[in-house]
Amino acid sequence: MSDTALIVIDAQESFRHRPYFREELLDAYLERQQALVDGAKAAGISIVQIFHVEDAGPFSEASGYVTTLAPLRIEPDAVFRKRRHSALVGSGFDVWLTGNGIRRLIVSGIRTEQCCETTARHASDLGYQVDYVGEATLTFPMTDATGREWSPADIRARTELVLAGRFARIATVEKAIAGPAGKAAA
């Protein structure tokens, strides 16, 4: 049994119903996310799907949008729902990780700088080895307090900068599947 789990955070239809949603980078994200899911499955790495839920709006269960972002194909080993940025708060995911002997997490999903980054930092602080696969994350343009618009590429670069060597190893899909130092995931 592998001590590694791939987590696919918030890759859900809910985002298509937010005003900031943009299609421009969606195809590239979907291709890399699917490659990561498929690679993890082939390598025998557990796949965990996390959904964000809220009481109202497109993230509510009643909306019908808390489903896998099409056309992703994921056959998760476990599914958790969260109400906070970190997938490790109040979802039961932490209990599952401990019960399954997981020590290494591969982080992917939506949004790069929010739930993905927060979960990576939190996991690192809890002692997990973390691979952050920026190319298998998606975010949208944001405007800061000075009026500067940050592109998704800017946000990804900033996120990878602050995580690298402190909270996570920044990895490509292929490096994450290969495991630490290029070893097969064990």
Q: What is the pLDDT along the chain (186 residues), one digit of tens a residue?
A: 689 999 999 999 999 999 999 999 899 999 999 999 999 999 999 999 999 999 999 999 999 999 999 999 999 999 999 999 999 999 999 999 999 999 999 999 999 999 999 999 999 999 999 999 999 999 999 999 999 999 999 999 999 999 999 999 999 999 999 998 655 444
Q: Residue 178: what are its φ and ψ, rounded to 5°?
A: -65, -25
Tell me the CATH class for 4-181.
alpha beta
Residue-wise pLDDT for 17-54, tens only, equals 999 999 998 999 999 999 999 999 999 999 999 999 99
Q: Is the Cα dihedral 129, 95, 68, 38 positive or negative?
A: positive
Find residue 110's DSSP bridge partners.
138
> What residues have CB less than 8 Å from 43, skipping those under 6 apart?
2, 177, 184, 185
- Distance in angstroms (rounded) separating the CA atoms of residues 63 and 87: 21
